[in-house]
Amino acid sequence: MVDFDNLLFRASSMGDIMTGVEKGWSVDKSITCQRKLVQIYRELTWGRRANKTNKYTEKGTKVEENSITTYCRVKKTMYKKNDVRLTNNFFTGEFDLYEGVEILKANKIIDIKSSYDWTTFPSICDKLEPKYDYQIHTYMDLTGASNGVIAHVLENNTPEAINKLKLFAKYEKGMLDSGGNESDAYIAKCVEIEKNHIYDIELFKKSLETFDELFEFHTSDWHYDIPIHQRVHEIEVVRDEAKIEKMKNRVIECREWMKKNFN
């Protein structure tokens, strides 16, 4: 039996939960919100957790520590690492870094987002995505922080991931010659893959020291590093009490909707 009256909502789910709120939609009018509530209910009652692992999330998980190091180097600040999942009466969440005396007295919280490659790395042209806005406000409510940062970091992909990309490329049409050897087109493709996924060659070579498989460089003359300060893009968010209040009201509405539909 689910205790809907005390159900907590994850920070990462608040983007879906809040869909339509700014348009005045109730939960009954927001299919996106309803679908998220169904998923949450099934996770709780069926004993499962949605696993939406893909190349983007896999990279984010594997390079998280490197991304945190890169961010701290660029900011020239050793932020405190958070490894605690926080909860209050509405939300639950775990972010990456904070600034302050201790976590519940943080004045700033930072959540790191590792971009998949340079084409998905945000720029000054990009605004804060609503899902990240709600996520960072959830963290601010959990800690009391008055400021938050979504920090996008462009970090090397892993040798394993790059090898997989090369392997997939090998079996594309025209990538092998008549004798089954690597064609010029395949080598050019591998060079492109390396340029698209390696931004700090010395750090990448260091990662090869603990890599158990063979990694073959196809770029003979490497001069494609991206300066570290250009590999961090942060968006600052100031705490908005009215927004947090809307989020809490939505949680209450979601609890009532679930009680009505799932009991």
Of 2, 9, 1, the residue nearest 252 (C-alpha): 9
Alpha-carbon distance of 33 to 250, in angstroms, equals 10
On whether the CB atoms of residues 186 and 169 are closer than 8 A, the answer is: yes
Burial class (CB in 10 A: 0-12, 13-18, 19+), 248: middle
- 120 or 171, higher pLDDT: 120
| pLDDT exceeds 90 at position 172 | no
107 phi, psi to nearest 5 deg: -100, -15
- 176 or 137, higher pLDDT: 137
Alpha-carbon distance of 175 to 190, in angstroms, equals 10
On whether the CB atoms of residues 74 and 232 are closer than 8 A, the answer is: yes
pLDDT-wise least confident of 54-58, 96-100, 182-186, 215-219: 182-186
E strands, 31-181, are 80-81, 86-87, 91-93, 97-100, 106-114, 147-153
Q: Please report which confidence band the pLDDT of residue 178 belongs to, taking 50, 70 and 90 as the band edges.
A: low
The pLDDT value recorded for residue 173 is: 65
Residue 121, classed as helix, strand or coil, is: coil
pTM of the predicted structure, to 2 decimals: 0.92
The DSSP bridge partners found for residue 151 are 112, 234
For residues 108-128, give the mean pLDDT: 96
Neighbours of 50 (CB within 10 A): 9
Alpha-carbon distance of 128 to 132, in angstroms, equals 7
Q: Please report which confidence band the pLDDT of residue 181 belongs to, taking 50, 70 and 90 as the band edges.
A: confident
